Chains A and B, each alone.
Chain A
Amino acid sequence: MSVLTAFTGLFRRELSLAWAGGGGAALPAAFFLGMAALGPFALGENLDVAPKAAAAILWLALALATLLALDRMFQADLEEGVLEQLALSANPLEAGALAKILAQWVAVGLPLAGLSPLGALIMGAPPAGTPALALSLAVGSLAFFALGAIGAALAAGLKRAGLLIAILVLPFLAAPLIFGAAAGARALSGQAFAEPLLLVAATALFGLALAPPACAAALRLHLD
């Protein structure tokens, strides 16, 4: 089997696993919108800043939804021996890691980005900037999943992996979050947002270059 066939096969498998059964992609979406609704509750007395804080709250919601998805990213495959099969196959484990990252992005990240205009609107943000906000979240979730996958791969199979992944990954999510929230906030307030958006894209590309070898090296540790 060529690398490309294996890659697309794995990508499709990930997508169908993410979307099939147990609520599928609706589950992270419900979590994301629920977090977006909790934002105004938390603001409470300061509800008047909600339109300004909308981008920040949605970016936080995206980060939390990503952490929840990262928890299971490699865990099930490790338990069921799928990773062992991937490592034994002639194709590089790096390609498998890349396929899983891209699949998580498409299955979880992009739907959340698509829902973000709705989240921004319930916080009273002006509709004009919401497509650009969604774009920033779409690019940012790729950075989150690429950088986060490294932590997920390192902590897979350990006790209390979920909490450990969060601690390992949080510092790496800081860069895309800083630039992404800035891009989103500028887009919502009608300012030029190209510069921070390009920096988010840069962190995503950096993550995509770094994550496959780092994930593969981490996964091989668990398979020895």
Chain B
Amino acid sequence: MISGFANPERFMRLSAKLLPWISGVAVALFAVGLPWALYFAPPDYQQHDSARIMYVHVPAAWLAMALYAGMAAASVSSLVWRHALADVAARAMAPIGAAFTAVCLVTGALWGQPMWGAWWVWDARLTSVLVLFFVYLGYLALWAAIEDETRASRAAAILCLVGAANLPIVKFSVDWWNTLHQPASVFRADGPTMHPSLLHPLLVMALAFTCAAAALVLAEMRVFILRRRAESLTLRRRRAT
């Protein structure tokens, strides 16, 4: 109990110091990345200005997967080591990851309409990302359905690990199946195939998204810890009277 309490305490102190810095870096990166990506970067030679959706779509997709991977890692440490902060971290990452998945799906549809002539196609990449979105929703639904917090965190951790099987499918769907969605062009064994003039603003945007996600997760974790504290305080007060 004491070590369990000590950890969130240290986390609250550390995160209070870190949070403004990470948020500031995110804002600065967006201030550089957004004009660069949406205005100064050259238009794609085939898709012209519609290719600029990429600068939102691709980082959102990366973070949708990275946050789920983070949830899976947190779920392991919550199940195996009963780490006091891990379940808070997993719970905090879920709605943000779900939001990024939704952004990825919506921007993908907006991009698909002019390029493929369809808002949606049932190819392996799109389908597996949609499944990822449903896994996120199921995870949140399970948290909401179980009142006891420890039990909810363990049940959600089991579900999260089972759902992690979908992550490699999302990643490799473009290699395993013939998809309308293009294959990977940044994280490749033989290096990125994208021209640097497009790649650099994309990487700045990806960093900006990552910092924004980190700030959101930290803030959300702080909210959960504060709420937990407030609840135990009310309980103690009620017991005293």
Binding partners A and B? yes
Whether A158 is near chain B, meaning CB under 8 Å from some CB there, is yes
A159 touches B145 (CB 8 A): yes
Chain A residue numbers with a CB within 8 Å of B131 are: 171, 174-175
A155 touches B162 (CB 8 A): no
Of B36-44, B150-158, B233-241, which binds chain A? Answer: B150-158
A172 touches B162 (CB 8 A): yes
CA–CA, A167 and B145, complex, Å: 12
A221 touches B151 (CB 8 A): yes
Interface residue from A160, A167, A214 paired with B158 (Cβ < 8 Å)? A214
Whether A132 is near chain B, meaning CB under 8 Å from some CB there, is no
Q: B127-139: contact bitstring with A at CB < 8 Å (1 yes, 0 no)? A: 1000110110110
**A218 smallest CB distance to B (angstroms):** 5
Whether B28 is near chain A, meaning CB under 8 Å from some CB there, is no
Known: A164-B142, A174-B127, A224-B151. A210 touches B162 (CB 8 A): yes
Dominant secondary structure of chain B at its interface with chain A: helix
A residues 141-200 touching B (CB-CB < 8 Å): 150-151, 154-155, 158-160, 164, 167-168, 170-172, 174-175, 178
Whether B141 is near chain A, meaning CB under 8 Å from some CB there, is yes
Interface residue from B127, B137, B145, B155 paired with A178 (Cβ < 8 Å)? B127
Chain A residue numbers with a CB within 8 Å of B77 are: none
Chain A residue numbers with a CB within 8 Å of B135 are: 171
Chain A residue numbers with a CB within 8 Å of B161 are: 214
**A152 smallest CB distance to B (angstroms):** 12
A218 touches B141 (CB 8 A): no
Q: Contact size class for B?
A: 20 to 34
B146 touches A206 (CB 8 A): no
B162 touches A221 (CB 8 A): no
B127 touches A221 (CB 8 A): no
Known: A159-B145, A164-B142, A171-B134. A218 touches B158 (CB 8 A): yes
Chain B residue numbers with a CB within 8 Å of A206 are: 165
Residue in chain A with minimal CB distance to B163: A171
CA–CA, A207 and B104, complex, Å: 29
CA–CA, A150 and B163, complex, Å: 11
Chain B residue numbers with a CB within 8 Å of A178 are: 127
Whether B109 is near chain A, meaning CB under 8 Å from some CB there, is no
Known: A170-B134, A171-B135, A217-B158. A164 touches B151 (CB 8 A): no
B134 touches A158 (CB 8 A): no
Chain A residue numbers with a CB within 8 Å of B155 are: 154, 218, 221
B162 touches A164 (CB 8 A): no
A154 touches B127 (CB 8 A): no
Chain A residue numbers with a CB within 8 Å of B158 are: 150, 154, 214, 217-218, 221
Residue in chain A with minimal CB distance to B159: A154
Q: A42-70: contact bitstring with B at CB < 8 Å (1 yes, 0 no)? A: 00000000000000000000000000000
Known: A214-B162, A221-B154, A224-B151. A155 touches B134 (CB 8 A): no
Chain A residue numbers with a CB within 8 Å of B137 are: 167
B141 touches A168 (CB 8 A): yes
Whether B50 is near chain A, meaning CB under 8 Å from some CB there, is no
CA–CA, A168 and B158, complex, Å: 12
CA–CA, A167 and B141, complex, Å: 8
Whether B179 is near chain A, meaning CB under 8 Å from some CB there, is no
- Could you list which residues of chain A lie within 8 angstroms of chain B, going by C-beta atoms? 150-151, 154-155, 158-160, 164, 167-168, 170-172, 174-175, 178, 206, 210, 214, 217-218, 221, 224
- Known interface pairs A159-B145, A217-B79; 12 further A-B residue pairs with C-beta atoms within 8 A, sorted by A's residue number: A151-B138, A154-B142, A154-B159, A155-B145, A167-B134, A167-B138, A171-B132, A171-B138, A175-B131, A175-B169, A217-B158, A221-B158
